[in-house]
Amino acid sequence: MTTAPPAWPSVEELAARIPDGAMVALPPDNSLPSVALAKALIRRGARGLRLLGVPVSGFATDLLIGAGCVAELQTSAISLGEAGFAPRFTAALKEGRIRVQDATCPAIHTMLQAAEKGVPFMPLRGLIGSDILANRPDWRVIDNPFAESGDPIVLLPALSPDFCLFHAVMADREGNVWLGRRRECATLAHASREALVTVERFFDGNLLEDERTAPGTISATYIGGVALAGRGAQPVALLDEYGFDAGYVAAYARAAKTQEGFDNWLAVELGGSEKAA
């Protein structure tokens, strides 16, 4: 039995903290996205968001783009997995409605790790000769100063998103958040100015006091706010709690082929609440 949970803000209240134009980092469909917060951003009519896929993007990103919330996307890939390409992303790119910055997965991780360490940049192997690098004036190639002879290597600037959003299994009264082994969300929380988290349930205890839960816990130090959202990752899977709803995503992919189909899907999905104008 649990005692009464703390007075957490609602999902809507968390979403209201994210101003238009903010850089918002989202994990992909295999790593605990908060679809609940994405929908709350749509309900509040967010505009001009600069999304970061960590390191790739999925369902929640396509939703936000379709609803007109997004001005920019930096990611290493975007897809709906088995359901194919992300239809609203593709349309927005074609119509020039979003600016896309392509990256490669370890580059996103590395930029966040630099921010986590508080250093201005970190090097990464690979990339040289890729058109990704050619289209990233913010990435530099230097000669490895520790090498005996020429050794070009890419430097990536530290990246601190304004917010990161993810959905975890549980949080305790202190605001510590448990998400198991998906530790890229920990790096993301460390690197972001504020982590806003939805959880399945309240944990009545201290997650950092138990050696078995502590390694999968993100300290409240990094957490800006927690809201309760049952099945808040759905249709995406949440660890061993629930699986990926392939039928739901496939139905979305069919509907979202056109903007009209997307708008109709969204109107039903948001349950009659006022749709983003």
Partner 1 sequence: MIQPEERLAAALAALILDPAAPPARHIAVGAASPIPAAACWLVKKQGHPVRLSLLHKRHGNPFTEGSRELFDLTGQGRIDLFFLGGGQIDGQANINLIGTGDWPGQGTRFPGSFGSAFMYFMTPRTILFREEHSPRVLVPQVDNISAPGVSAPGVFRRGTAQALVTGKSLFRFDPATARFTLASAHPGEDAASIRAATGFDYDEPAQVAVTPDPTPEQLALLRGPVCDEMLETYPEFCARVFARKAAA
Binding site for partner 1 (CB under 8 A): 30-31, 55-56, 75-79, 85-86, 89-90, 93-94, 100, 102-107, 109, 113, 124-133, 135, 149-153, 181-187, 215, 237, 240, 243
Beta carbon nearer to partner 1, 17 or 99: 99
Amino acid at 247: G
Let me know: does 103 contact 134? Beta carbons within 8 Å: no
Let me know: does 104 contact 132? Beta carbons within 8 Å: yes
DSSP code for 118: T
Cα separations (Å) of 86 from 10, 23, 49? Answer: 29, 21, 18
The whole-angstrom separation of Cα 38 and Cα 61 is 8
Cα separations (Å) of 196 from 17, 118, 177, 277? Answer: 9, 21, 11, 24
Q: Cβ of residue 258: shortest distance to partner 1, in angstroms?
A: 17
Q: Cβ of residue 192: shortest distance to partner 1, in angstroms?
A: 15
Beta carbon nearer to partner 1, 40 or 78: 78
Q: Cβ of residue 8: shortest distance to partner 1, in angstroms?
A: 25
Q: Cβ of residue 100: shortest distance to partner 1, in angstroms?
A: 5
Beta carbon nearer to partner 1, 6 or 152: 152
Beta carbon nearer to partner 1, 166 or 262: 166
Q: Where are the beta strands (DSSP E) in 192-247?
A: 194-203, 217-218, 223-228
- Tokens standing for 180? 């198991």
The whole-angstrom separation of Cα 215 and Cα 206 is 13
Q: Provide the CB-side half-sphere exposure for 165 (13 A, CA).
A: 33
Q: Cβ of residue 115: shortest distance to partner 1, in angstroms?
A: 13
Q: Cβ of residue 210: shortest distance to partner 1, in angstroms?
A: 17
Cis peptide before 145 (omega within 30 of 0): no
Beta carbon nearer to partner 1, 78 or 159: 78
The whole-angstrom separation of Cα 17 and Cα 75 is 23
Beta carbon nearer to partner 1, 106 or 225: 106
The whole-angstrom separation of Cα 180 and Cα 186 is 10
Q: Cβ of residue 39: shortest distance to partner 1, in angstroms?
A: 23
Beta carbon nearer to partner 1, 20 or 151: 151
Query: 97 by DSSP, 3-state: which?
Result: coil
